[in-house]
Structure 1
Amino acid sequence: MGEYLIPANGAWVVAKATSEKTPGVVMASHSSERGVSLTVNWLGKSQRDVVPLRDLECGFKPGYEVLHVPASSFETSLGYGVVHSIRQLGGRTQVLVDFHEDGARIWVPWERLRFIKGARFRFRTGDQGGPDAAERLRLRNLAHALVLWNENTGSLSHFDIDPLPHQIHLVHHILSSGNLNWLIADDVGLGKTIEAGLLIAALRQRNVARRVLLVVPAGLTRQWQEDLKYKFGLDDFLIYGSDFNISDTTHWKLYDRVIASLDKVKVDDHLARLKEAEPWDLIIFDEAHRLTRRQYGMKYQKSDRFELAEALRQRTRNVLMLTATPHQGNQSQFQALLELLRPELKAQFSLLGIDSSVLSKMVFRNRKSDVTDIDGNFVFHGQTSRMVQVDSSPELVELEAQLRSYLKLGYSAAEHLGKGRGGAIGFVMTVYRKLAASSIRTLQLALMRRLVRLTSQAALAATLDDGFMEERYSGEYEETKVAAQETREEFFVGETERLKTLIEVCRAAGEDDQKMQAFLERVIAPITRENPDERVLIFTEYRGTQDYIVEQLQQQYGASKVDVINGGMNVEERRAAIARFEGDGQFLVSTEAGGEGLNLHRRCHLLVNYDLPWNPMRLAQRIGRLYRYGQEHHVVAFNLQGVNSADDLVVSNMYARLDQVAADMAGVDQTSSENLVSDIVGELASLLDVEEILEQASRAGVQRTQENIEDAMRRARETSELQRKLFQHAVSYDADEMRSGFRVGALHLQAFVLGMVRLLGGNVGESRRFPGAAWLLDVPAAAGLPRLGRDGRITFDRELRAESTPVELLDLDHPFVAALMERARSYDFQGLTAAAELPGFSHVVTAMLRWQDERGLRLRQEFHAIAVDRQGALHANPQQVADWLLTPIHTVPCEIDRAVTNGIHTGVESFIDAQLARRSNANLHPENREWLSAAWCSEPTLPTV
C-alpha cells in the first residue's frame, strides 16, 4: 500500500465502516506513534471527532468545487475547479478535476483537494459574505477583467505601443475564429507589424505559440527584431545567419523564436537546414505578395520564394501572411497564397470570381477611411498634401544640362559592358539622378568623392569610410553602396574632366540654391510666424541633404532647436532625439530611418518632404509617422517640387496624377472623400513601379513617358477596384463587436490598485505636482508585496512617464501589480458574493466563458457581466457595470428571496450557455464556464434632508 497521504485541511471525508456516509470536513491532522488521526467536523452535526486516517476515505463527489492544495510550499497550486469523476487505481483514490483557469483536466490524489464554496453555490444558498464583501467583489472582478483585457489586447502591458481599436479587434477575431491561418491585408499605415506582435504575445500567453518563425524581406529582419523587443518585450527573437548559425541541425532545438531573411532561406543549403528544424507552432510571412506562383494553362511556374513557403507549410499547422497588396491584378497568384493558407478549401478558391464569401474565414482587411474608435468616431482626421513649386535658376538649368550629358555617357557605357560591370555603373548613374533631385549639395559631395577616387588614392580611405548602412534605409544605403560600386577606372573616356566641370557647375548653382530658399522662406518662415513654437518634421532620403538642412536651420533658429534621426543611430539615440524634439525642440530632420516604426504624432502635425522618394510607398510611410491614431490635428505635408530635371517632372507628374485618380475613385461628393482619397493614394502607390517608369523615361520622350504614367495608373486603378470588389466579404473592423464586450482600461487599473492598497491597510496620497495623474502609495510591510521604488510615487499614465518624471509606471507587467492581481483572484480573497447598491439592476453575475480548438488548446475566453434589470430582463456587459467598478462599493443589508434567486440562477445559466453556443463554430468549441461573483443589488438610498 505504501505510506499514507495526509489529507489537506478542508478535504471531505466519509467513514469507511458505516453505511451512513455522512461527509465531514478535515479541520486538522495529528501524528503519533499509533499513526495519523484527523479532526473531522461532520456535516449537520455539532460535534467534532478525532478519527484515525485508516478509518476514513474520500468524501468528494462529482460536481463539488475544490481547490488544489500543494504538498509543499515550494509548489504552486493548480487552482480551483469542479470534480468530474472519481476512480480507484493501484489502491489509491483519485479525483478528476476540471481546473478552470488553465483548462486542464487532471487526476489528482483526493487528499490534495480542499472543498470550497464557489460563487454559484454561495448565490444559491444566499451567502452574502462579510462586512467588506462588496468591495472585495469589486476588486476581484476588476482583477479578472483587467487580466483578460490585457491578454486579448496587450494595452495594459509594458508594451511601448498604444494598440488601436482595429488592431485589438483583429487579434481578438482571429483568436475567436478557432483557426490561426489568416491573411492580414490592412492598408499601409494601419500597423500590420503591431497586429502580428499583439497576436504573438497573446498566443504565448496562452502557451499556444512556443516556436515561432518569421520570414521577412532581408532589409526588415533587424526592424522586426527591434519592434518585437522594444514594443512588445519579446526580446528572445534571434536572426538566422546574423545572431546565430546552424551547422548541426540538432541545434535547432535551441532556437524557438527565429527571424529569417526570405531570400537567404530560399537558397538550397539554408532551406535544407530549415527543413530539419522541429515543427513550428506559427510561421509568419511578411510582404507575402512576394511569394509568387504563376499559372500558364494547366502548369504552374513557382518562384524560389513560393517553393520555400510550400516547404515550410509542411512544418506548421498555422501560417499568418501580411501584405497590403495581396491581389496585384493576377487572380491565380492570389489563389496561390490562399492555397498555402487553407489548402483544404482549394475547390472554393477556384470560384472566387463568382462567390468570394470564403474570404471571410481567412482574410482580414481594414481601410484607413473605415477605421473608427470603439465609439464609432473616425480615427483619422484627414491629411492634406501641398505642393511647393521650386523655380529654376539659370545655373540650375545649366547643371541639369551638364548632368544629363554625363548620365547619358554613363548609361551608354553600362549597356555596352553587360550585367556585371555595366549593372554597377547603371546603379551609380541612377543614384546620381536621385541625389540631384534631393539637393545640389549632396550631388556635389558625391561627385567630389568620385573625383577623389579617380585622382587621389591616398585620400580615399578617409573620404569613403561611411560605415555599414542597412538596405532598409534606402537613401543612406545608396549613398554608401554607390562608393563600393565606383572603381578607380573611368566609367567612360573623359569622365574625370566632366566630373570637374560638373562640380564647378554645382558650386555655382549652390550659391543661389532656390530649393533651400523655398524651404526656408516659403515653408518654414510662415509656419514659425504663425506659431513660433510649432514643431516641424522634415524628411529627406539622404544623409548629405540632412546635414545641409540641419546646418541651415541651426543658423537661423539655433542648434538646440534641431534634432536628427538617421540610420547610423541606435534605438536609444533615436528615442532621445524624439524626446528632445517633443520637449524643447522644434525641428526634427529625418532620413528614411524615421519613416518606420516611430510615432511622432503627439506633438507634431506638420511635415516637409524636402525630396520626393521615387517609391510612393515611402511617402505614405513618412506621412504615417504623423497621420495615425491619436493625432488631434489635420496633418499637412509640404512637398518641395523641383522642375529643373526630367526626373523631377516625372515624379511631380506621378504624384499629381495619383491625387487626381484617387479623388476620382473616391467620388468628390462623398462626405468622407478626403480620408478616402488619402486611403486610395496609399493603395495605388503600393501598386506602382515608379522606378521602372523613370528608367523608361531616361530613354523615351516626354509624350511616351506620359503614356507610361497613364498606363501604370490605369493598371493600378483596375487592380485596386478588383481588390475592392473581391474583398467585400473579407473581415474588417467592427466597432459593434468590440462594444459588445466588457471594456476596461487604465482608469480601471488605477481603481484596482488604489482600492487594493486601501483594503490592505495602506494609504493613498495624491501628487501635488501631478494631481489626478500621479499618487504616493504607502503600503504596510505586513502586506507582503513587492516594494515600490521612488518613495512610492506612481502613475498609470504612459505619457506622464514618458516625460522622464520621477514617478514609477504601474502596468500589468509590474511585479507590484502582478502580486495584487494574483491575490485578488485567489479563492481566499473572497468577494464571491455580496449585497450592494446599483441603480436599475436587481442582480449582477460575472463569469468567465472559455472556448478551445478541436485539440483542446484554449483560443478564446471572455469576461461577462450579466445584469438583471428590475423587470427581470438579462443584459450582457452593460456599461453601467463597468462604471460601477470604478469607485468603492459598500456592503448593504439585503433580504433575499430564495425562489427569486433560484429563478435568476436558472436564467443566468441558460444565458451563459447561449453565449457559449453563439460564439462556437466549426473550429471553436466550448471549453468551460466559471462563475466569478454574484451580487444582489438594491436601489441607492436617497439621503435624508
Structure 2
Amino acid sequence: MWTATQDLGFGRVAAAEGGMAIVEFVDIPGVAVEFKPIPIADLQIKPIPVGSHVWLPGKPYGWISAEVTTWAGYEEYVLHVPGFGRPLKVSAGLITIRWSRPLTDPVAAVVAGFCDFPASYEARRLFRDEMVLQRRMAGGYSAVLSAPVKLYQHQLDTMARVLQDPVPRYLLADEVGLGKTIEAGLILRQLLLDDPGTTALISVPAQLVWQWHTELRDRLALSDALRAQRLRVVSHEQLGAEPRLCDHTMVVIDEAHQLLPFIDGNQSLQQSLTRSQGLLLLSATPVRGGDPETLLRLLHLIDPIAYPLDSAEEFAARLRERDTEASDLQLLRNPRAARRHRSRVLNTLIERHADDPVVARLVAACRLTDDLGAVGWGQLADHVRETYRISRRMIRHRRTAVAATEYPVVGRKGNVLSIHDPARAIVDAFVEQFREDLGDDSDEFFPELVEHALGGPLPLMHYLEARLAATQGPAVVPARFRALFDNMTARLRMSEIGLRLRVAAQLADERMAAGHKVVVAGSPSMAAAFHEMALERWPRRAGGHLESMSAEQRDRDVQDFHRGEPRVLVVDLSAEEGRNLQVARSLINLDLPVDFNRLEQRIGRLDRFGRHSEPAEVVVFDEPESAWVSAYIRLLADGIGIFDRSIATLHAQLGEMYQDRRASMLSDGHRAFELDLEEVRTDLNEELEGIDLVEELESVAVGSDFDDARVAELRESEKDGMRFREAFTKLVLSSGGINLQPSEDDQGIVRFNNARSARYPGLSTDQADEIRPLLSRRVTFNRDLATQRGGGVVPLRIGDPLVDWLAEHLRTDERGRARIFSRVSRGVRFPLLCLAVDFMVEFDPSLVVENFGLRPRLQRRGDALLPPMLLHIRSTADGPLTDARLVREVGAPFDPSRDRAISGTRWDELNRQLPDWQHLCRLGRDEAYAQLRSDPALNSSIREALARAGQEHTARAAILQSRSQRLRGESAKASARNELLREQKLAEALQRGISAPRITAVACGVIVLQPETS
C-alpha cells in the first residue's frame, strides 16, 4: 500500500494507529530513509497504480528495477522486470517505492545498487539533451518555440523587454501591420506557461473579438487557456463592467486609442487600469505627427506618476525637443558633416542636458577626437537616445527597419484602370450646377456630395435619395434645391449606372480564376449593391463585412474568406480598421473615400504581415474624361503615392491636407485636387524622413535577448526539426522509454495511435491519466508546417504541454538516472571502473529572490547571460579519463549484444574483481565534480556572463539615474528611485546566480572496462 501527500510525494505506510500513520519515504534504501507522522485523513491510500516504477531487493546485492502490470489482490502484484522472460508475482512487502522527488545523487544510487537497465538511460538521453538545447536557443522563452509563429527579431525583442521588467506595463506602438497582436500573444503565452495561476483579460473593439479569438487559438496555441477562462477577450464596451481588473496578471488593450472615450467619465475604470499588475496598450500612435494629447493619455495609463494629465504643455514641448534632438544626432554621426556643425551639436547637448554628468563626460571625450568610430561618439548617441526617450515604456518598430529582418510585410502595388462611364457627364454637370447655385453660401454637405459623385452615379443616386427622404434635421434638402435634386435623381434612375459594378465583377472573376482571393471595397451603398450581385454571381464563394450585417454574420463570412478556395469578400467602412485581410491578393475599390487616412486604413487591411511574396494589388478606377475624378486620382497616385507605399505614419499631415481640400472644394471645384504634385511628394517625403529620425530614437533600447545574430541562430536550429524528431521518437518508442506510439503522416502531422489507451508502458495509471488529454492534439516536428497550416497544428517543442510534461516527468523519475554495466575493451589490461556523469549547469534564481513571481523573469535574464548546459564528465578514481580511445568507449551507447548490465549474481563477480568498487565510485564522483569546477569552458562562460551582466547593469543604471534626475515632481522622482532600486536588486541576484550556478548530477553511468580474454 502507498500514499501520496501534497507536499512529500510518494511513500509507504509503515504503521498506523490512533488516526496517525507513520509514512516511510525512501530516498535511496540503505542511504536515506525518512519516517513522517501524518494524519490518516490527509493520506490518499490505495493500491500501487499499474505502471508504477518499483524496486525489488536483489540477491546477493542491489535492487532490481520493475514495473507494476496488475494488482493480483491479497497485497500481491504482478511485475514486469526488464530482461526477465515472464511476469513475476510478488508480495507488496517486497516492493519498495522511492518518494517522488528528483534523484539528487545518482552516484549514491549506483553504490546502493539502485541501478536501472541501461536502455532506460539511452531512451532518455537525447530528449534530455534536446530540452537543454531548446532552452539555450529560446533563452528561457518557451512560448516562442511552442507557438506556431514565424520567428522575427522585433517581435521577440518586444516580448523579452516586457517579460524581463518587474513592472510589465508598456505601450506597444509598432507601425500598422508589424504584428502587435503576435507580440502581445507571445507575452501572454509565456505568462500562462510560467504560472498556472495566471489570468489575463484582453479588451478589443467589438468587431475584432472574433479575430483575436482566432489569432490566440490558431497562431498562439492558446485554446486551452481560452476554454479554461484563464484568458478572456471582451469588447471595449464590456470592459467597464469587468469586476476586479487588478486581479488579472495582465490586461491587454488593443486599439487602445479607441478605449479612451469609454474611460472619459469612468473614474473606476481609469483607476483599475492604472493599478493593474500588468498592462499592455496596443496602438500605432506615432511620436511625431500624431496627437500629443492621445499619446499622453495612453502613457498616463501606463505610468500615471511620470505622465500626469495636467502636464500636456510640458509633454508637447518634450515631443518638439525630441524632434530637434533627432536631427542633431543624425548630424552628429554624419561623416560628411563639417567639424563646426558637430561642435555646435555637442554644445547644444551640453546646454540641453546640463545636469547629466554622463553627457558631459562623453562630450568631453568626443572633443578629443574627430574619429567618429571612436567609442565616445557612439556611446554619446546611444546614451541620449535611450535616456531621453519620450518613454522607456513605449516600444515602437518601423516598417522600414524590420524589412531588414525579412519580415514579410505584403506591400502594395497600384493598378489604375481607365473606364468610360456613360453617366459620368451628367454627374459632373450636376456637381457643377449645385456648386454654382450655392454661390457664396456654405453647405457642409457639399464635400459629402462630391465624395459620392466621385464614386459614380450609383452612390450619388443613393445619397440624393437619402437626403430627399429626410424630414427633419440638417439633412433636409432646402426648398430651393429640391427640384434640382429630384430632377437629378430621376435622370440617374433612367441612366445606365452599374458600369463600375460590372467591371469590378469581371476583374474579380479573373483574379479568382488565377487562384487569388479578392476584397471588393466601397462606400456602404456601393458595397451593398455589389454584395447583392456577388451573392447571385458566386453563391458559395461570396461573403461580406457590411454595416447592415450582424457582427456574427460578419465574423462567419470573414472566417470563410480566410479558409479554402478563392473567394470574394465585399466590405464597407465597417472593415476599415483592425481587420486582417492579407490573405487576399487584390483589393478592388468600387469608389474611394476623399479622407486620405480612411483610404490608407482600407488598403492597410491587405498591406500587413502576409504569407505570399507578391504585393497586394490595389485596383482603382480612373475616368480621364472627368476633371473631378482624374484630378483626385492623380493627387492620390502621383502626389501622395498612397497606392504604392504605406503612409500610415503621416496620419496628422494627411488629416490636415484632407481638411484643406474639403474646405476648398466649394470655392475651387476640381482644382481643389490640382496641387503641385512634385511639391506634395517632396513635402511628404521630408516629413517621413523626420518621422523616421524621431522614431529611430524612440525604438532604440539598451540590450536585447534577441539581436539579429541570436535570431538567425534560433531560426537555423528550428529549420527542420529532425534532431528533436529523433530524440522524441527514441523516448516514446524505444525499449526502456514511454510507449506513446506516435505516427507521422506524409504531411508531417503527428498523431498518437494509443491516445485513448488505459495505460502506457513506462507510466503509472495516474500518470497516464495526466498525459492522455495531451495526446489528442495535432502536432508536428516541422515549424514551417505549423505556421503554414494553422488550425491548431502546433510545433512539438519546449513549452508545448506534452513536451513540458515529459520533461518534468524525466526530472522527477529515477528511471535511467543510475546504471552500471561491464564492457570488454582492448585498451585495458585490468578491470577499470569509469564514471560517465551528466551534469546540468544553469543560472540559479533561488539564491536571493524570494518573490516567486519574479523568478521566471530573473531566470530568463540569467539564462540569456549564462545559458544552461549539459556537461558530460568522464572520470576514474585516479583522475580524469584522458585516453581518447577509452573516452570514446565509455561514452558509447549500451550495446546488449556485447555489454552486460550488472545485477543479480553479477554483483558477486564485480566484488571479486573490484572489492572496493563502492569506494572507487565515490572517488570517481569527487573527481568528476573537481573536473566540473575546473572545466575551462564552464569557467569562461561564467566570467563572460558576469562581465555582460555588469555591463548591462551599468548601462541600465546610468539611464535610470539620468532619467530620475530630469523628472519633475517628488512623486515622479520617488517612482524613478524605486525603479533604480529594483534594478540594483535584480543585478545583485543576477551576479550571485551566475557566480554560483545551480549544478545537478542528472545521471551517472558506471562502466567497468574489462580486458579481452583469449
TM-score (norm 2): 0.58
Aligned equivalents of 1:740, 1:266: Cα separation in 2: 44
Q: Which residue of 2 aligns with 1:877?
A: none
Q: Quote the offset at 1:635 in angstroms.
A: 1.9
* 2:395 is the alignment partner of 1:399: no
Aligned equivalents of 2:196, 2:6: Cα separation in 1: 36
Range with greater deviation from structure 2 (211-220 or 905-914): 211-220
Aligned equivalents of 2:323, 2:395: Cα separation in 1: 18
**Equivalent pair of 1:773/1:795 in contact (CA under 8 Å):** yes
Q: Which residue of 2 aligns with 1:940?
A: none
Match of residue 609, structure 1, among 583, 589, 600 = 589
**Equivalent pair of 2:159/2:186 in contact (CA under 8 Å):** yes
Q: Quote the offset at 1:816 in angstroms.
A: 5.7
Local SS of the residue matching 2:104: coil
Identity of aligned residues (%): 14
Match of residue 618, structure 2, among 638, 645, 653 = 638
Cα distance, 1:394–1:192 mapped onto 2, change above 3 Å = same
Cα distance, 1:623–1:334 mapped onto 2, change above 3 Å = farther
Local SS of the residue matching 2:591: coil
Match of residue 304, structure 2, among 314, 319, 334 = 314
**Equivalent pair of 2:839/2:1003 in contact (CA under 8 Å):** yes
Aligned equivalents of 1:441, 1:349: Cα separation in 2: 68
* 2:754 is the alignment partner of 1:778: yes
* 2:665 is the alignment partner of 1:698: yes
Cα deviation, 1:380-421, whole Å, max 9, x if unaligned, reads: 386452332334445302212213444676897666xxxxxx
Cα distance, 1:820–1:626 mapped onto 2, change above 3 Å = farther
Q: Which residue of 2 aligns with 1:765?
A: 743
Letter in 1 for 2:754: D
Q: Quote the offset at 1:270 in angstroms.
A: 1.8
Cα distance, 1:328–1:655 mapped onto 2, change above 3 Å = farther
Q: Quote the offset at 1:350 in angstroms.
A: 14
Q: Which residue of 1 aligns with 2:141?
A: 152
Local SS of the residue matching 2:751: strand
Aligned equivalents of 2:31, 2:1000: Cα separation in 1: 32
Q: Which residue of 1 aligns with 2:544?
A: 564
Aligned equivalents of 2:495, 2:663: Cα separation in 1: 28
* 2:708 is the alignment partner of 1:735: yes
Q: Quote the offset at 1:916 in angstroms.
A: 4.4
Alignment map for 1:863-902 (pairs within 5 Å): 864=867, 866=869, 902=930
Q: Quote the offset at 1:189 in angstroms.
A: 1.1
Q: Which residue of 2 aligns with 1:490?
A: 476
Cα deviation, 1:573-617, whole Å, max 9, x if unaligned, reads: 535554456423443333355555555556x53333333344555
Cα distance, 1:178–1:726 mapped onto 2, change above 3 Å = farther
**Equivalent pair of 2:519/2:570 in contact (CA under 8 Å):** yes
Q: CA RMSD in A?
A: 6.1
Match of residue 572, structure 2, among 577, 591, 595 = 591
**Equivalent pair of 1:214/1:285 in contact (CA under 8 Å):** no
Local SS of the residue matching 2:931: helix
**Equivalent pair of 1:29/1:37 in contact (CA under 8 Å):** yes
Cα distance, 1:726–1:237 mapped onto 2, change above 3 Å = same
Cα distance, 1:703–1:777 mapped onto 2, change above 3 Å = same
Cα distance, 1:349–1:215 mapped onto 2, change above 3 Å = farther
Cα distance, 1:365–1:499 mapped onto 2, change above 3 Å = same
Match of residue 725, structure 1, among 673, 679, 693 = 693
Letter in 2 for 1:448: E
Q: Quote the offset at 1:648 in angstroms.
A: 3.6
TM-score (norm 1): 0.62
**Equivalent pair of 2:635/2:675 in contact (CA under 8 Å):** no
Cα distance, 1:404–1:187 mapped onto 2, change above 3 Å = same
Q: Quote the offset at 1:639 in angstroms.
A: 2.5
**Equivalent pair of 1:386/1:638 in contact (CA under 8 Å):** yes
Structure with the larger RCO, 1 or 2 (CA within 8 Å, 6+ apart): 2
Cα deviation, 1:785-820, whole Å, max 9, x if unaligned, reads: 358689968443897899899999989898766644
Local SS of the residue matching 1:640: strand
Cα deviation, 1:867-889, whole Å, max 9, x if unaligned, reads: 77999xxxxxxxxxxxxxxxxx9
Alignment map for 1:787-866 (pairs within 5 Å): 794-796=778-780, 819-820=805-806, 822-828=808-814, 847-849=841-843, 857-858=854-855, 859-860=857-858, 861=860, 862=863, 864=867, 866=869
Cα deviation, 1:695-737, whole Å, max 9, x if unaligned, reads: 1341453666545877765554333222333444533883213
Range with greater deviation from structure 2 (577-586 or 851-860): 851-860
Cα distance, 1:818–1:150 mapped onto 2, change above 3 Å = farther
Letter in 1 for 2:565: D
Cα distance, 1:843–1:443 mapped onto 2, change above 3 Å = farther
Cα deviation, 1:348-368, whole Å, max 9, x if unaligned, reads: 799999943436866644333
Cα distance, 1:272–1:128 mapped onto 2, change above 3 Å = same
Aligned equivalents of 2:596, 2:110: Cα separation in 1: 63
Q: Quote the offset at 1:120 in angstroms.
A: 11
* Runs of 5+ consecutive residues of structure 2 not aligned to the other structure: 46-98, 310-315, 327-352, 360-379, 761-767, 822-835, 875-891, 901-920, 957-982, 1006-1014
Q: Quote the offset at 1:829 in angstroms.
A: 6.0
**Equivalent pair of 2:175/2:284 in contact (CA under 8 Å):** no
* 2:149 is the alignment partner of 1:169: no
**Equivalent pair of 1:6/1:29 in contact (CA under 8 Å):** no
Aligned equivalents of 1:207, 1:239: Cα separation in 2: 26
**Equivalent pair of 2:158/2:183 in contact (CA under 8 Å):** yes
**Equivalent pair of 1:150/1:157 in contact (CA under 8 Å):** no
Letter in 2 for 1:264: P
* 2:469 is the alignment partner of 1:452: yes
Q: Which residue of 2 aligns with 1:88?
A: none
Match of residue 654, structure 2, among 663, 688, 711 = 688
Q: Quote the offset at 1:692 in angstroms.
A: 1.5
Letter in 1 for 2:691: Q
Cα deviation, 1:306-337, whole Å, max 9, x if unaligned, reads: 46854773379999xxxxxx99984469999x
Higher helix proportion (structure 1 or 2): 2
**Equivalent pair of 2:180/2:282 in contact (CA under 8 Å):** no
Aligned equivalents of 1:156, 1:355: Cα separation in 2: 35
Letter in 1 for 2:939: S
Match of residue 503, structure 1, among 479, 489, 507 = 489
Q: Which residue of 2 aligns with 1:378?
A: 406
Cα distance, 1:526–1:821 mapped onto 2, change above 3 Å = same
* Runs of 5+ consecutive residues of structure 1 not aligned to the other structure: 11-25, 55-69, 75-111, 295-300, 320-325, 337-344, 416-425, 455-485, 663-676, 836-841, 872-888, 938-945
Local SS of the residue matching 1:737: helix
Cα deviation, 1:75-106, whole Å, max 9, x if unaligned, reads: xxxxxxxxxxxxxxxxxxxxxxxxxxxxxxxx
Q: Which residue of 2 aligns with 1:138?
A: 126
**Equivalent pair of 2:519/2:588 in contact (CA under 8 Å):** yes
Q: Quote the offset at 1:278 in angstroms.
A: 7.8
Cα deviation, 1:413-441, whole Å, max 9, x if unaligned, reads: 666xxxxxxxxxx3x55444333334532
Aligned equivalents of 2:250, 2:818: Cα separation in 1: 40
